[in-house]
Structure 1
Amino acid sequence: MNVKEKIRTLKIFRVIVQIIFFIFMPSLFSQAFAGVKEAVALIGKGENLILSDFVIKLLILCAVTIIFGRIFCGFVCSFGAVGDWFYMLSEFIQKKTGRKLPVIPSKWQVYLQKLKYIVLICVIGFCFLGKGEYVTKYSPWTVFSLITSRNFKLGAYITGVVLLLLIVVGMMLKERFFCQFLCPLGAVFSLLPKLPIFHVKKKGQQCFERCSACTNRCPVHLKYDEADIRDGECISCGRCFVVCPHRIKKNK
């Protein structure tokens, strides 16, 4: 099986997994982040943490992330899946029209990835101060959850609708736009420690000079030729492993 066939097989497998979770658990990401908001709100009130369904789901996903990396982001998250599908549509349009979208410079991408931490801090601040209802009211995630539950009464969430539409545009312009630059849950997961056996590791001495196949295919623009890989940004999509001539391996 050549590289193109491997990439195609991985893409089909990911899409199948994403569709399954989109159908059966479309709001898992918003429920998990509701656990973050709920926990912070209780701390802000000086109350004991309650293991609600939302908090339990958050803890389970955090445990999965610590053990396996951000596989939730790469394969399970419905919002990330929608982003992938919109970008596939964008790629199809680009191919048919013969036009390529401009590429965001590497330095800009690294800086833009910090925005999600600002979003997370803002959300935590509102919830800590007891103003979590504003986050819910204006959140594009709220609108997405309503739509996936076939509730189209969105009149009270106009701001969230507008933000969701802007995010969709971003998803078509840049692969994993929301996941990289704006997702507060992704920010939480990126800060978690990972077990060493699942860290990304490049086999430097066996790499072809100036190959960069892994970096070129990475949807979150990780530079594997650098000594310090931003491992927290890795969404465990598996592309680097598939395209690497010598296989990017995990730490032993």
Structure 2
Amino acid sequence: MKISFQLIRNLIKTSFLGFFLVSNNFCLCILGFVQRILLTFNLKEFTPQLIVFPAIAVVFGRLFCGFICPFGIIFEWTYKLKMKMKKSKIIPKFNPKIHEKLIYLKYIFLVIGLYLTFKYGSYVICTVCPIGSFVGLNGTVISFILLGLFLIGGYFIPMFFCRYFCPIGALLGLLSTKPVFKIKTNDNCTKCRLCEMKCPMQIDILNNMDEKECIRCFQCVTACKKGGIKYGR
């Protein structure tokens, strides 16, 4: 039996979700380490994660989002549940004009979060971050409330949090604006736009492949049966 790439990816993400749920204080969030340095002014707090994850983003793009983030797999389940209920194989699109403006919200939240962390001397982003709710289920009341709200939003708009609010995605997006390995079409592309119909981040792949918004789920690549879209240098 042939095992699909997407099945393997989902198993990896589900495994990380399980790990986050049982872990009491271990987190791979790069923003947590950035905040720690801002709060302590101590470069001894500089951990390998601050090298590894940015390096991965610069070279490969937002692989963290596509393979590790526990919130990402929850959001995938959410919008796929809606698609299954509606018996649809095409990911619903949000108003393009509004979408193109809202994607910048997460960059604003990133800047505001880091500023407030520095100003008030506390882990502001971690306090409200719904992703942190999964770490041993030890999140704050605010983070669990936001988690619920974002899940509701994710039912109506695929990857709602990841598209418009995630500060981690914003930071990794800035680092992966021009990655070494890219998503790109080739001569086999028939411009059927099936890749765009399968993209949960609503990226205009054919006309404007926005690498910083791509979460490296590779659903566009696996959707194309003609090999018209590839991931590489």
Q: Same fold per TM (> 0.5)?
A: yes
Give distance in 2, aligned partners of 1:58 and 1:70: 15
Is 2:75 aligned against 1:83?
yes
Match of residue 12 from structure 1: 7
1:74-113 pair list within 5 angstroms? 74-95=66-87, 103-113=93-103
1:237 to 194, 217, 222: 217
Residues 242 and 216 (structure 1 numbering): CA distance in 2 closer, same or farther, change over 3 Å? same
For the aligned residue pairs, the C-alpha RMSD in angstroms reads 2.9
On the 8 A contact 1:30/1:141 being kept in 2, the answer is no
The structural deviation recorded for 1:82 is 1.4
Match of residue 45 from structure 2: 51
Residues 224 and 31 (structure 1 numbering): CA distance in 2 closer, same or farther, change over 3 Å? closer
The answer for unaligned runs of 5 or more in structure 1 is 1-5
Is 2:120 aligned against 1:130?
yes
Give distance in 2, aligned partners of 1:187 and 1:216: 23
2:39 to 16, 38, 41: 41
Match of residue 182 from structure 1: 165
Between structure 1 and structure 2, the one with the greater Rg is 1
Letter in 2 for 1:33: L
Q: Secondary structure at the match of 2:4?
A: helix
Letter in 2 for 1:235: I
On the 8 A contact 1:136/1:142 being kept in 2, the answer is yes
Deviation track 1:186-231 (CA, whole Å, cap 9, x = no partner) reads: 000000146754112222x5432x41111111111111221x4211
The structural deviation recorded for 1:182 is 0.7
Give distance in 1, aligned partners of 2:104 and 2:180: 26
On the 8 A contact 2:221/2:229 being kept in 1, the answer is yes
Give distance in 1, aligned partners of 2:223 and 2:134: 33
Match of residue 116 from structure 1: 106
2:197 to 216, 233, 242: 216
Q: 1 or 2, which has the higher helix percentage?
A: 1
Q: Secondary structure at the match of 2:228?
A: coil
Query: How many residue pairs align between the two structures?
Result: 228
Deviation track 1:121-161 (CA, whole Å, cap 9, x = no partner) reads: 111111121342444443333433242xxx5xx7xx33322
Match of residue 249 from structure 1: 230
Letter in 1 for 2:99: Q
Match of residue 3 from structure 1: none
Is 2:141 aligned against 1:158?
yes
On the 8 A contact 1:119/1:184 being kept in 2, the answer is yes
Question: What percent identity do the matched residue pairs reach?
Answer: 29
On the 8 A contact 2:154/2:161 being kept in 1, the answer is yes
Q: Secondary structure at the match of 1:66?
A: helix
Match of residue 153 from structure 2: 170
On the 8 A contact 1:41/1:130 being kept in 2, the answer is no
Q: Secondary structure at the match of 1:104?
A: coil
Q: Secondary structure at the match of 1:132?
A: coil
Q: Secondary structure at the match of 2:143?
A: helix
